[in-house]
Structure 1
Amino acid sequence: MLRVKCILIKVQSQLSSWVQMFLNTVLVVLTDLVAWLLGNNMFRKHFHLLLSAVVMFGPALSLWVSQHSVFAKKSHFLYRMFLRSGWGWTCIFVGAFVFLLSFSIRRSLALSLRHLSRLGVACGLWLAFCKLLDLLDNATGNCYEPLVAEPRVTPAQPLLVLREGESKSECLKAGMLWRGYDVSQDVFLLCLCCLLLVEETAVFGPYLSLGGFSDAPLRILFLFCVLLLALWIFLLLCLLAYFPQFPTQLLGGALGCLSWRGLYKVWYCLEPSWYCPGNPGLGLLNTKTRSAEAGNLHLKKVHFNEQQN
C-alpha cells in the first residue's frame, strides 16, 4: 500500500511538472508571436491609419447591429467598469510593464522613472484637452427645455424652449437638454490609449530578438497589456456602432491621433533631457550591443598582449 502511494505521488509530481512546462511553452510562444507583431515596423507605421479607418467607417456598422443587444445600453458592465476609468486601467498595466521592463534591464530607478514620465505627460495632456473641451462646450452651447405637445402638432419630437443663463451642469441637473459644440471624449480617450499601448509595448519584440531575459511575470504583464488593447478596440467599435455620432466622434478620434503624433513622433524624438523623456526603449535596447562590443574589445586586448609576449 505504501508503495502504491509513493508511485501515485511520483506520477502526480511528474504530471504537474509536465503541465507547468506545457503552460510555460504556450506562454513563451504566444508572447513571442504577439511581441513580433507589435514590434513589426509595418504594423507600427500603419496602426494609426487602421485606427483612423475604424473611426471613419465604424458608424456604418449601425446599419447591421441590433439595437436590442446588451452592448446598446450604456449601463453595460464593460462601459461602467472600463470605459469610465479607461485612463486608470491603461496607466496601471502600461506603467507596470514599462517599469518592470526598464528596471530589469538596467537596474536604474532614475531611468525607469524617466520612461514612466511619458505616461505622466500623456495624462496631463488628456486632462488639459478634456478641460478645454468642456469649456468649449459650455461657451458654445445652449440649454433647452423640452415641452410635451399634442401628437397632432409634433408627432416626432417634442418642442424645445431656449433657457438662457443656464450652465451645462445646471441644465443637465434640471433634466433639460444641452446642445453645444461637442467632441467625443470617449473616442478621444480610446484612440489615445490604443496608440499609447502600441508604442509602449512594441519595445518587447526587439528586446526579445536581442536575447533579453524575460521571466513569466513580465510576459504575463505584456499579455495583459495586449488584452487591454483588444478591449479598447472592441469598446471603440461598440461606441461607433451602437451610439453613432459621426461629427463628434470623428473629431475625438482626430484629436487622439494628433495628440499621439505630437508626443511620440515629435516631442519624444528629441534627445532625452529634463524636459523630454525620450522614445520607448531608448537606453534599454542597446545595452546588449554595448556589452558585446566591450567584450569584443577586451578579447582583442588580450589577444594583442599574447602576441606581444
Structure 2
Amino acid sequence: MDPKADNSSKSFTAEINLEKLQKIAAELILPGRFILRPLNAALEFVTRLLAWVLGCSLVRRHFHLMLSGLVLFGPVLSFWVSKYSIFANGNHYLYRKFLRSTWGWTCLLVGSFVVVLSFSARRSVPLTLRHLSRVGFAGLLWWGCRRLLTLLEDAAGACYEPLAPAGDAQSSAAPAQPLLLLHQDQTKASCLRANMMWRGYEVSQETLILCLCCLLLVEELSVFGRHLAQERRSHRSPGAPLRALFLLCVVLLFLWMALLLCLLAYFPAWPAQQLGGALGYLGWRGLYQGWFRLTPAQGSPGLPGEGLFTGTDSAKHSH
C-alpha cells in the first residue's frame, strides 16, 4: 500500500471530522446566545438599579442610622416571633455556614470586587493594592477587637460547674436550684467546651462583625454607580464578571442584615448585642469617616473610588 495515499486519506478524514465538530459547536453556540442575551440584559438592569440605590446620597448618609435602629429595637420582635421557628435553632444551616465565617465571606467577595473594579477602571496595580488595603485594615480592626473582647470577657467573668443535689435531701422537698462550684482558672472558651456555665459581662461579637460588614459593604459598593457612569461616557460596558461580583456582594449585604435581624429577634441579649453594634459603628466611623479621609501621604489608603474616576465626577461626588 502506498504510504502517501494512506497519509492523504487520514488528513482528509481529519478535515471532515474537524468540519463536523465546527458545525456541532456552531449549532450549540447559537441557542446559547439566545439564552445568555436576556440573562445579560437582566443582569445589567438589576445591577444598574442596585448601583443607583446604593450610590444614592440618602442611603449612604443614613444607612448607619437605619442599622442602629435595627440593633436598638430589633429585640422587641422577640415578643412576636415563634420559638418553634427554624430560625430559633442555633444549629441552623445559615448560622453554621455563614454567621461563624462572616468576615471570611465578606473579605472574599468585597476584596474580589474591589480588585476587579479598581483594575478595570485604571489598570494600575499599585492603585488596586492601595484600595484593597482598606479590606485588610478592616480585617486587622476586627482581629484586634475580637482579641481585646476575649481578654476582657475572661477577666470580667467566672466559670461555674452545676452540682446535682443529693437524692436523700431532695426526695421530700421541692426541687431547688442546683448548686454551682466556682472555677476561677478557666477561660470562657475552655469553660464552654467543658459544658459548664459562664457568667460575666459580655459583648456580642456576632453583632459587632455583622454591623461592621454591613457598613463596609455599603461603603465599597456605593462607587459602582460612578464606575457605570464613567464606562458609559467612554462608550464601554463593564463585563459580566464585575456585575456578577457586585450582585453577589449586594446579596451578601441582605444576608447579613437578615442574620442580624434573626439574632436580635430569636436570641435577644441586652445589652451585649447593643454594645457589639456600637463597637461596630465606632470601627466603621474611625476607618471610613476618619482615617480613610486623610491623604495618601499620611498613610491613608483613601476612600472608595478615590483616584479611579475623572476629576469632574469626583468633584460631583460628596462623601
Whether TM-score is above 0.5 comes out as: yes
Which of 124, 127, 139 is 1:108 aligned to?
A: 124
Conservation of the 8 A alpha-carbon contact between 1:146 and 1:159: yes
Distance, in Å, in 2 between the alignment partners of 1:104 and 1:203 is: 13
What percent identity do the matched residue pairs reach? 54
Q: CA RMSD in A?
A: 2.2
Q: Does 1:227 align with 2:247?
A: no
Which of 199, 208, 222 is 1:179 aligned to?
A: 199
Which of 153, 157, 163 is 1:137 aligned to?
A: 153
Distance, in Å, in 2 between the alignment partners of 1:274 and 1:123 is: 20
1:70 is displaced (CA, Å) by: 1.4
Structure 2 equivalent of residue 6 of structure 1: none
- Which stretches in structure 2 are left out of the alignment for 5+ residues? 1-24, 315-319
- Which stretches in structure 1 are left out of the alignment for 5+ residues? 1-8, 291-309
Amino acid across the alignment from 1:17: R
Amino acid across the alignment from 2:227: Y
Distance, in Å, in 1 between the alignment partners of 2:160 and 2:205 is: 22
Amino acid across the alignment from 1:106: R
- Change beyond 3 A, Cα 1:144–1:208: same
Aligned length: 281
Amino acid across the alignment from 2:132: L
Distance, in Å, in 1 between the alignment partners of 2:29 and 2:109 is: 34
Equivalent residues in 2 for 1:288-303, closer than 5 Å: none
1:158 is displaced (CA, Å) by: 3.3
Which of 281, 284, 293 is 1:269 aligned to?
A: 293
- Change beyond 3 A, Cα 1:220–1:287: farther
Structure 1 equivalent of residue 102 of structure 2: 86
- Change beyond 3 A, Cα 1:12–1:85: closer
- Change beyond 3 A, Cα 1:153–1:159: farther
What TM-score do you get using the length of structure 1 for normalisation? Answer: 0.85
- Change beyond 3 A, Cα 1:11–1:100: closer
Distance, in Å, in 1 between the alignment partners of 2:192 and 2:212 is: 28
Equivalent residues in 2 for 1:148-167, closer than 5 Å: 148-149=164-165, 150=170, 152-154=173-175, 157-167=177-187
Which of 215, 228, 232 is 2:239 aligned to?
A: 215
Q: Which has the larger radius of gyration?
A: 2
Amino acid across the alignment from 2:258: F
Instruction: Show CA shifts across 1:92-143 (max 9, x none).
Output: 1000000000001111111000000001100001000100000000111111
Amino acid across the alignment from 2:268: P
Conservation of the 8 A alpha-carbon contact between 2:121 and 2:227: no
1:16 is displaced (CA, Å) by: 4.0
- Change beyond 3 A, Cα 1:112–1:10: closer
Structure 1 equivalent of residue 277 of structure 2: 253
1:289 is displaced (CA, Å) by: 6.1
